[in-house]
Amino acid sequence: MCYTGPTISYVVEGTITVHNPGPGPATIESITDVISGGIAAEPQCGVTFPYTLAGGATLTCTYKATLPNDCKRVNTATVTPVGGDPSPQPPASTSPARRMRGR
């Protein structure tokens, strides 16, 4: 059972880490983040896409989304390379929904 309260808001936030293990650069077309139930959490990466990630480099993005209740959900981050198939990746870390009063 999920709780939905009139004075409580639920928020999830965390990081998405993309690492290029290869020796050469990889160009990223986009990074998306969707939480089950169709809730979009737009990643903030501090770069403009398409973005070229150097070999051996890491790109770290943050995300935050408001949730309608405290139900458990799955968070799926997807990295789409230029000219390639999207690659869903589990988040490097997960954050449970937090109750925030007065929002």
pLDDT of residue 73 exceeding 80, the answer is yes
pLDDT of residue 77 exceeding 80, the answer is yes
**Among candidates 21, 37, 25, which has minimal Cα distance to 71?**
37
CATH class of 8-101: mainly beta
The 10 Å Cβ neighbour count of residue 67 is 19
Q: Is 28 within 8 Å of 51 (Cβ atoms)?
A: yes
pLDDT of residue 95 exceeding 60, the answer is no
Q: How does residue 4 score in pLDDT terms, banded at 50, 70 and 90? A: low
Q: Hey, which residues does 13 pair with through a beta bridge?
A: 64
Contacts (Cβ under 8 Å, ≥6 apart) of 28: 18, 49, 50, 51, 52, 53, 59, 79, 80, 81, 82
pLDDT of residue 87 exceeding 80, the answer is no
Query: Per-residue b/e over 38-56, b at no fewer than 16 CB within 10 Å?
Result: eeebebebeeeeebebeee
Question: What local confidence, expressed as pLDDT, does residue 35 receive?
Answer: 94
Q: What do you get for the CA distance between the two ends of the chain, in Å? A: 22
**Could you tell me the residue ranges of all domains in the chain?**
8-101
pLDDT by residue (tens digit) across 14-65? 999 999 999 999 999 999 999 999 999 999 999 999 999 999 999 999 999 9
